[in-house]
Every structure is written in C-alpha cells, then in structure tokens.
C-alpha cells in the first residue's frame, strides 16, 4: 500500500515540471501556435493514429496466436485501447498489464497471457532503442567508422533490450510464478512448469517473429511520421530524420514512472532536442502529439464501461492476474 502511494506521489514530478514550463512561456503565443493546425491536418493525424493502433493490435494478435491464445484481431485493438485508458489511473507500467485479465476473460491461461504482454513489450522496444543507440553514437562522435559504429550500436541495443526485459520481468515474474503455482495446485503438474521467453519465442516460429519485427518497424515509422506531420502543421520545419530521433527519445523517456502519460517529461525532451525552434511552437507540437496519441483512450473508456471486467486499481489488478481464469463462450 505504501509503495502504491509513493508511486502515485512520484508521478506528480512530471506534472510539476509541466506546470513550470507553462508558467515560463507566452500562453497567448502558445494558443496561436496550436491554432495553426487545420482540419485537414487533424484528419490526416487521426488516420495515422488508426494505422498505428491497427499495427499494434495486429502485432499482439500475431504473438497471441503463436502462443495459442484466444484473441481476435479486433479484440487485440480493443484491449490495447483499454490498457492505454488504464494507464491514466495506474502507476508505472501497470496499465498495460490490464491486458492479462482481458485475455483471461476470454478463457486464456495466466502464464501465456502474461508472456504475450511481455513479448509484445519487447517487440515494441526494439526500434526505439535502436534509434536511441544510433543517437548516442552520433552524439559521441559522428566521425566513427562504420565498423566501430555498428559494434557500439549492437552493444547498446543489446544492453537496452536486456534492461527492458529485466524491468518487465521484475514486474511480471512474481505474478507469473504465483499464477502458475495456483494453476498447478488446481490442475496438477500438467504442462510446463514455467513458460520462459525462449520457449515462447520458439512457439512463435520464425515467420511470426519476423512479422512481429516488421509490424514494430511499421508502428515506429508511422509514429515518427505522425510527429513530423504535426510538427510541420505548427511551423516546425525540420527533416523527418531529425523528428524521428526527437520523437523516439521523447517516447522512451515518457515511459519513466514519474508522470502521467509522460506529461512534462515529453515536453522537456522536445525542448532540449528542438531548442532552436521556438519554445511555444515546440510545446504546441508536443501537446498536439500527446492529444493524438491518446485518442484511443476514449474508445478504451467506452469499451471498459461496456464490459468492466476488472476494477482499475492496483490491488484489484493484482488479484485479477493471479486468480483462476474465467471463460466466456464466444469461441
């Protein structure tokens, strides 16, 4: 309980930082910058958001299908929207874990459900951390030879992937082992004692693994294209490659559990990276990007209201993850 309270308090850091940024800029000028975006630009942005969500949903569907889980592609998109909505109310990355009870309500076992979320998160981290590694190389020394750059790139990418895996495993593993213990007590020793990431990836097979990486690349590219389009709409005229690095760095740092949906952290990163483009323009762009990226939360809220399969609180989520599965008869 104390840990949950502390997590919620820490999340205020980003909000305080955001308020400080707002207090130091010209708000009327910020309004002018936001008003530059027209209806046509908004429509294009919404289309790009739908593409991102569809690619993410298809990636989770491919992973779930490889693990033998019952999940339709439309349900995968719906579950992602619910998870994004839950992230507003749960500290850290707990909101994403609401996908586990979402899968369990469709008759899926806890261990495979947890593993699908873990693998999907690892796939999602691949390209952002590759871009981060490239950015570090360029910052350290842009004159490095190709061979040295590739060595540093691989080392940084492996370190980043391991850190993501370690953090996710630390978060997921206690629930995973407890759920598997309950399952063994109820069903006996049937099945594997533990489903590791290695075993799960083998179950996916090469074709699904490659498809998952391709979908992750598509998600990353479309997101950077969305950021570049919004930047152009408010007068930030920079090459796509520059915006790709800036938006990727902002998305990585926004996952730190010191804010709500990255508010304050995202704006700070953009201000540092795009510092020469005007404070008001950069903040206007960041707010528009956040608004577009969070629009699926509206559908997630509608979906959860229609079927509130779990209360969106840390204690209820913990119980929903490790309790015995419930099934529905849609299959």
Torsion of CA 16, 83, 85, 308, to 10 degrees: -130
In terms of residues, how long is the chain?
A: 331
CB of 159 within 8 A of CB of 167?
A: no
Average pLDDT of the chain? Answer: 77
pLDDT tens readout for residues 52-67: 999 999 999 999 988 8
pLDDT greater than 60 at residue 327:
no
pLDDT greater than 50 at residue 324:
yes
Q: For residue 322, how many other CB atoms are within 10 A of its CB?
A: 19
pLDDT greater than 60 at residue 32:
yes
Percent of residues, the chain, with pLDDT higher than 90: 15
pLDDT for 214 equals 92
User: Six-digit token pair at 190?
Assistant: 């049937």
pLDDT for 85 equals 87
> Of 76 and 149, which is predicted with more confidence?
76
CA-based nearest residue to 116, from 166, 61, 54: 61
pLDDT for 56 equals 95
pLDDT for 57 equals 94
Q: What is the per-residue burial (b if ≥16 Cβ within 10 Å, else e) of 199-229?
A: ebbebbeeebbebbeebbebbbbbbbbbbbb
The stretch 261-281 carries a mean pLDDT of 82
Q: How far apart are CA 97 and CA 116, in angstroms?
A: 10
Q: In sequence order, which ranges of the chain are alpha helices (DSSP H)?
A: 2-10, 12-23, 27-35, 39-66, 73-86, 99-104, 110-140, 146-187, 197-233, 240-253, 265-273, 279-293, 296-306, 314-322
Residue 328: pLDDT band by 50, 70, 90 thresholds? very low
Q: How far apart are CA 132 and CA 250, in angstroms?
A: 10
């Amino acid at each position: 309980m104390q840990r949950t309270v502390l997590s919620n308090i820490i999340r205020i850091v980003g909000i305080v930082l955001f308020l400080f940024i707002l207090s130091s800029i010209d708000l009327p000028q910020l309004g002018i910058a936001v008003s530059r975006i027209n209806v046509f630009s908004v429509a294009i942005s919404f289309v790009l958001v739908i593409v991102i969500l569809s690619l993410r949903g298809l990636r989770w569907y491919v992973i779930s299908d490889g693990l033998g889980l019952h999940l339709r592609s439309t349900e995968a998109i719906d579950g992602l929207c619910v998870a994004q909505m839950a992230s507003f109310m749960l500290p850290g990355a707990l909101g994403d874990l609401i996908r586990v009870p979402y899968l369990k309500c469709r008759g899926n076992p806890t261990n495979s459900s947890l593993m699908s979320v873990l693998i999907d998160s690892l796939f999602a981290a691949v390209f952002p951390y590759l871009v981060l590694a490239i950015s570090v190389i360029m910052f350290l020394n842009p004159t490095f030879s190709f061979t040295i750059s590739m060595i540093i790139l691989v080392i940084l990418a492996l370190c980043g992937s391991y850190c993501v895996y370690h953090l996710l495993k630390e978060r997921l593993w206690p629930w995973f082992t407890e759920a598997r213990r309950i399952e063994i007590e109820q069903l006996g020793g049937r099945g594997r004692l533990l489903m590791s990431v290695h075993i799960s990836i083998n179950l996916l097979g090469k074709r699904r693994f490659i498809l998952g990486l391709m979908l992750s690349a598509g998600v990353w590219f479309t997101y950077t294209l969305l950021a570049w389009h919004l930047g152009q709409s408010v007068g930030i005229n920079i090459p796509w490659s520059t915006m790709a690095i800036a938006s990727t760095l902002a998305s990585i740092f926004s996952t730190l559990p010191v804010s709500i949906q990255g508010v304050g952290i995202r704006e700070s990163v953009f201000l540092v990276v795009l510092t020469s483009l005007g404070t008001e323009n950069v903040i206007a762009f960041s707010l528009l990007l956040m608004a577009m990226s969070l629009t699926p939360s509206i559908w997630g809220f509608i979906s959860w209201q229609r079927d509130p399969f779990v209360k969106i609180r840390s204690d209820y989520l913990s119980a929903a993850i490790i309790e015995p599965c419930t099934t529905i008869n849609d299959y």
